[in-house]
Amino acid sequence: MAELGIDLPTFVAQLVSFLILMGALIFLGYHPIRKMLDERAERIKEGMAQAEASREEYVRVRMVVEEEISRAREEAQAIIAEAAQMGGKLKDEAKQEARKEAQAIIDRARKEMDQERAMSIDDLRKEFVETAVIIAGKVINETLDREKHRKLIEKALEESISFKRN
């Protein structure tokens, strides 16, 4: 080996030094680096698992939210339909109330008109009796008992009116 330019004791010394250095590097560097890389790989796996769990939770929450929104829309539609129905009922009730009030006003007006007509007929009857008494007194040219004459004319008028009504 001397012919190759290799000195055996130096070679052995360098080989031993290399092996010691290699052992020291493996013991001091490789194991801690490997441990650190394994821990990092584990953290990455945990992060990926958390990200997947977060994604699944997001999907689940999104579905729940969409269901709630759908349910809220249905409730809103039901409320709108109920409000429209109640509005229709209130409108119908208001119409019925207005009809009742209008009928009451008409009935009251008819009653007042009947009373007015009865009073007018009564007044006309009294005037007619008075006029008839005066005319009869002038025609007969004698003084009759006014009260007797009035009763006679009223009786004739009542008979005439009841005859016209039948």
The predicted-structure confidence for 4-34, as pLDDT tens digits, reads as follows 777 888 889 999 999 999 988 888 888 888 8
At position 142, the amino acid (one-letter code) is: E
Asked if residue 1 is part of any domain, the answer here is: no
Token pair listed for 37: 């890389």
Q: Which long-range contacts (CB under 8 A, 24 or more apart) does 55-58 make?
A: none
The ranges of the chain with pLDDT < 70 are 1-2, 136-145, 160, 162-166
Asked if residue 113 is part of any domain, the answer here is: yes
Asked if residue 3 is part of any domain, the answer here is: no
Count of domains observed in the chain: 1
Residue with the two structure tokens 């005859």: 163
Asked if residue 109 is part of any domain, the answer here is: yes
How many Cα atoms sit within 13 Å of 1 on the Cβ side? 7
Asked if residue 21 is part of any domain, the answer here is: yes
Nearest CA to 148 out of 159, 158, 137, 138 is that of 137
Asked if residue 40 is part of any domain, the answer here is: yes
Q: Give the model's pLDDT for residue 67.
A: 95
Q: Give the model's pLDDT for residue 69.
A: 95
Q: Give the model's pLDDT for residue 64.
A: 95
Q: Give the model's pLDDT for residue 63.
A: 96
Asked if residue 89 is part of any domain, the answer here is: yes
Terminal alpha carbon distance of the chain: 164
Residue 87's domain comprises: 8-165
pLDDT tens-place string over residues 129-143: 777 777 766 666 555
Q: Give the model's pLDDT for residue 70.
A: 95
The reported pTM is 0.40
Q: What is the DSSP string of 60-116?
A: HHHHHHHHHHHHHHHHHHHHHHHHHHHHHHHHHHHHHHHHHHHHHHHHHHHHHHHHH
Q: Give the model's pLDDT for residue 128.
A: 78
Asked if residue 2 is part of any domain, the answer here is: no
